[in-house]
């Protein structure tokens, strides 16, 4: 029986502060009070409201969920309660937690909407066009486009408590719309600003290829995207970006030029420590005859690759003594040729080559005849060029 329940003396610090201004002589139906739980049983909750009589909350007025009351509240909890009746005829004040919440939740939403504050909601179901969530007992709609800044399966959010911001609040027509995406966008932008402050030219960064375009690859290095130009993918010539990287690849890149003001950064995939000129320049000397591969035609000559990333120019006059209109008249793309190194300019990374001089040197060998075996050196060298 309720008469056997003794009122627990309120903790001076917990209840005294928020009840000190309350006039205990004025309790009317519709009032919202603060109360402290003093007993919980299977059917109801007894609450001290600092009044001549304690209050009682029935299960129906405490929660909409079919759960034990002990799972909802426990002795010592402080609640907002709504006065249904100042006297239920048995010496108790009849209270409602649900009705109080309906009022205080609306006030919370009004304040949050006005001040653009974040609120927490629990996602209950997926519907056409988005998600239905609840702020206490109030229904909140989250459009699919506002559920996340990244593409997300809405089902993965069901049952979760998430933070959102209200974008529309019409309590009279029960139209309450919220966005999770706006918070993620703000967090993303804040993180991006921090990265722009920290990023330095020349440092190494881990990244993921997000997009491949004709000019190169777009790489995310942790909140900031930069471009690896096709010429910076590898030291050798790259015809197609996909020959080197594809979407989803994890890459280690070097940071090139940084323009924090306009949020632009160039990235380099090729290892700067393995720059071909550093590796091979000392092995290329004027007068040497070496093999190379034709990699590019110009009106004035052809470029021949001696090592991956190291090319030299054969001027059109150095291709042959014959009168030709263009290099492709006598050469083919990808053809392997012997070239003589005429000049090496390490500072400007330029090499002058000659094909006809290399041919003349080979012809000099062909003039000798190994009489002992009856085979000419010319025949031995035949086909090498």
| 235-259 confidence digits (pLDDT tens) | 888 889 999 999 999 998 999 999 8
DSSP-assigned letters across all residues of 186-245: HHHHHHHHHHHHH--TT-EEEEEEEEEETTEEEEESSS-EEEEEGGGS-SS--S-GGGT-
Residue 370, pLDDT score = 47
Residue spans per domain, the chain: 31-101, 116-184, 201-268, 278-369
| 103-129 confidence digits (pLDDT tens) | 888 999 999 999 999 999 999 999 999
Q: State how far the Cα of 210 lies from the Cα of 51, in Å rounded to an integer.
A: 65
Q: 51 with 19: CB under 8 angstroms?
A: no
Q: Which residue has the higher pLDDT, 188 or 371?
A: 188
Label residue 17 by pLDDT band (50, 70, 90). low
165-169, 201-205, 229-233, 250-254, range with greatest mean pLDDT: 165-169
- Same CATH topology for 31-101 and 116-184? yes
Q: 355 with 343: CB under 8 angstroms?
A: no
Phi, psi of 336 (to 5 degrees): -90, 125
Residue 89, pLDDT score = 73
pTM above 0.75, yes or no: no
CATH annotation of 116-184: 2.40.50.140
| 342-362 confidence digits (pLDDT tens) | 999 988 889 999 998 887 665
Instruction: State the chain's mean pLDDT as an integer.
Output: 84
| 289-337 confidence digits (pLDDT tens) | 999 999 999 999 999 999 888 899 999 999 998 889 999 999 999 999 9
Residue 27, pLDDT score = 85
Q: 91 with 114: CB under 8 angstroms?
A: no
Chain-centre distance of CA 100, in angstroms? 42
Domain spanning 31-101, CATH architecture: Beta Barrel (2.40)
Phi, psi of 61 (to 5 degrees): -95, 0
Q: State how far the Cα of 220 lies from the Cα of 223, in Å rounded to an integer.
A: 6
Q: State how far the Cα of 111 lies from the Cα of 120, in Å rounded to an integer.
A: 14
Residue 362, pLDDT score = 55
Residue 281, pLDDT score = 78
Domain spanning 278-369, CATH architecture: Beta Barrel (2.40)
Question: How big is the chain, counted in residues?
Answer: 385
CATH topology of domain 201-268: OB fold (Dihydrolipoamide Acetyltransferase, E2P) (2.40.50)
- For the cut 60, the answer to whether the pLDDT of residue 374 exceeds it is no
Contact partners, residue 307, CB within 8 Å, separation at least 6: 276, 279, 280
Q: How many angstroms separate the Cα of 21 from the Cα of each of 11, 13, 33, 45, 122?
A: 16, 14, 12, 25, 34
| 206-220 confidence digits (pLDDT tens) | 999 999 999 999 999
Q: 278 with 320: CB under 8 angstroms?
A: no
Distance separating the N- and C-terminal Cα atoms of the chain: 112
| 50-87 confidence digits (pLDDT tens) | 888 999 999 989 887 778 888 889 999 999 999 999 88
| 19-59 confidence digits (pLDDT tens) | 454 444 578 888 999 999 999 998 899 999 988 899 999 99
Phi, psi of 40 (to 5 degrees): -130, 130
Residue 222, pLDDT score = 82
Token duo for residue 238: 């790259």
Q: 13 with 20: CB under 8 angstroms?
A: no
């Amino acid at each position: 029986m309720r008469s056997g329940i003794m009122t627990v003396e309120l903790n001076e610090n917990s209840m005294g502060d928020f009840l000190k201004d309350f006039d205990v002589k004025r309790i009317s139906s519709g009032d919202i009070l603060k109360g402290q739980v003093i007993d919980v049983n299977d059917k109801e909750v007894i609450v001290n409201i600092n009044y001549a009589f304690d209050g009682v909350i029935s299960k129906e007025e405490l929660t909409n969920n079919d759960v034990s009351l002990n799972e909802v509240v426990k002795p010592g909890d402080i609640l907002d309660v709504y006065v249904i009746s100042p006297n239920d005829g048995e010496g108790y004040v009849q209270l409602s937690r649900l009705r109080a919440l309906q009022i205080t939740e609306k006030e919370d939403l009004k304040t949050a909407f006005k001040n653009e504050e974040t609120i927490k909601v629990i996602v209950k179901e997926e519907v056409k066009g988005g998600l239905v969530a609840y702020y206490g007992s109030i229904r909140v709609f989250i459009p699919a486009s506002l559920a996340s800044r990244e593409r997300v399966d809405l089902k993965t959010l069901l049952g979760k408590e998430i933070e959102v911001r209200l974008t529309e609040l019409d309590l009279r027509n029960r139209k309450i719309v919220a966005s999770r995406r706006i918070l993620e966008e703000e967090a993303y932008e804040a993180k991006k600003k921090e990265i722009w402050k920290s990023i330095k030219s020349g440092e190494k960064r881990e990244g993921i290829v997000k997009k491949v375009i004709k000019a190169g690859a777009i790489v995310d290095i942790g909140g900031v995207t930069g471009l690896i130009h096709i010429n910076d993918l590898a030291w050798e010539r790259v015809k197609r970006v996909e020959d080197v990287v594809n979407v989803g690849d994890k890459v280690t890149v070097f940071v090139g030029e940084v323009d924090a003001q306009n949020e632009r950064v160039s990235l380099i995939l090729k290892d700067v420590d393995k720059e071909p000129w550093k590796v091979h320049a000392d092995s290329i000397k004027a007068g040497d005859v070496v093999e190379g591969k034709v990699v590019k035609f110009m009106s004035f000559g052809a470029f021949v690759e001696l090592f991956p990333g190291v090319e030299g120019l054969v001027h059109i006059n150095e291709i042959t003594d014959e009168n030709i209109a263009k290099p492709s008249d006598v050469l083919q793309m990808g053809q392997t040729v012997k070239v003589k190194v005429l000049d090496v300019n390490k500072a400007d990374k330029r090499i002058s080559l000659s094909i006809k001089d290399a041919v003349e040197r080979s012809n000099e060998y062909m003039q000798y005849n190994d009489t002992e075996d009856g085979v000419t050196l010319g025949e031995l060298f035949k086909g090498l060029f």
